[in-house]
Structure 1
Amino acid sequence: MSTSSYADGAAYVRGRFVPIAEATIPVTDWGFTRSDVVYDVVHVVKNGFFRLDDHLDRFEHSMQQRRIRPPEDRAAIEAILHRCVALSGLSDAYVAMVASRGRPRVAGSRRPADCDNHLIAYALPWIDVIPKDVQERGAHIWLASTPRVPDASVDPTVKNYQWSDLTSGLLEAHDEGFDTAVLFDAQGFLTEGPGFNVFIVKDGKVSTPDRGSLHGITRKSVLELCAELGIEAAVEPIPGTDIEHADEVFLATTAGGVMPASRIGGRILGNDRPGPISLKLKQAYWARHDEGWHRTPVRPLEAAE
């Protein structure tokens, strides 16, 4: 099959590389019926993965925590990701690795250990959680009434497809004409949003929640950049009222980088545009990409064979 067949994306499913439109799983897969699956996403910019080792580390941690063990080892998974990108021909891509529980070998079994775990991977054209034009004017963020699922029930450091609470927050936001939402836990502390970590800026200090949140790779990058730029930063409890009184708010994710906000609920931040510290971190983040920060070049197709 020619590489042109992969122009919309390339996938690895059940041991085969296929165009993204042909990537399917059985409807009886527990990854589908029970959201019994873990995943991770790494981005490719200008033919280079960003922090690939960090994403693979987190993916391995998630699989270990959920006792999902596909047959492919780490080296094989990395090679598969390279080949998916190479097949797609994309220089900027959204690249996912997924480990699903699979289907029971024993008909009717309810035992997770009876399932054949398997790996799915795919590369798609670049995706922004917040579209670039919205990032320019600053995202409008709704403060969701839906509480974040408790950490004791679903470990937020294990990247998973349990999105019911996050999707409910999105539905609220869109009903109110906002771009996206952030959620709070049952005690009223800030957590995260659908697919991103959240940061607040107050009196020059950058803070991000210590609970209810994925240990994001972009979050990690932001904290490193703050240290480099001499900006005070902390991972700490953030009461819900703090975001309402913040000087600036920005979001961080693999699918979009550092994404400033300009409105929080009914409050307009600054001059209804992204704030100076948010913009400084956004510019530094992408400038470091251009410098090759944590870059792993995508192996050409012949090398990924």
Structure 2
Amino acid sequence: CRCRALLSRPARALRARRGLAAGPEMHFGFQTVTEEERREKIYQVFENVAKKYDVMNDSMTLGIHRVWKDILMHKMNPCPGTLLLDVAGGTGDIAFRFINYVRAVRQRQLQRKLKHHQNLSWQEIFESYQKDKFNSLGDSQVVVCDINREMLKVGKQKAQHLGYSEGLSWVLGNAEELPFDDDKFDVYTIAFGIRNVTRIDLALQEAYRVLKPGGRFLCLEFSHVSNPLLSRLYDLYSFQVIPVLGEVIAGDWKSYQYLVESIRQFPPQEELKAMIEDAGFFKVDYENLNFGIVAIHSGFKL
């Protein structure tokens, strides 16, 4: 199995950890903390919210996060045979969409194939259909990588409940030091995760490293609203409503207070674009969704 071969190789994860000293000060929301404190606090946030993560996403965004993720998938437009790495994808939303998308493409391919072979006998058509039926992803695979065990646990439970198993793997790993060899993946996605990475520059370098030449980087993340009136309304909703929802639904005000604060500390669209370019990516651009509440950044490893 191609996927088992990929994961069984001892990755270059044993290389020296880069820049992980606890010295530099950085932000955890509006707090100033050391680098190591930030790592620990963010890990604790997602350990606390894992079981209610999906419910809170629906509540906070009124379900619009589903549309944003669908747009990301259509922008990716994966074909059968694509190998996707979804980083910080613990609960599986991007992975499941990827599988559904590729299956739909495969189904359309099969229908076109049968349409062009109308002179085949019923037996030949049946055998062809059965053969393709058992390879519904066309050798596509998605590897979900997340640093948080609880998030991965929730994702695996969802996958089992929804019947996803083919072409799907779960790996515990750090975005800043991915446990994969160079030039392995066709596409790298990170949805609502890069904001929680302590060293974004290292995560971007790792994304570049593990992508094949010609591979694509896609990042979906909360961003900055440029319209002053909408920005004020968005701030009002974020600071007055989201932490309350966190307390009511997840019993956790502080984690969702961090969430809204972290969005304000995150680099704006142009700054993140420059960081992606600095990591080596070409043809970097971004698309604002809902007036910049979120943005999709894209780049290629050439």
TM-score tier after normalising by the smaller chain length: under 0.3
As a proportion of its length, which structure holds more strand?
1
TM-score, scaled to structure 1: 0.23
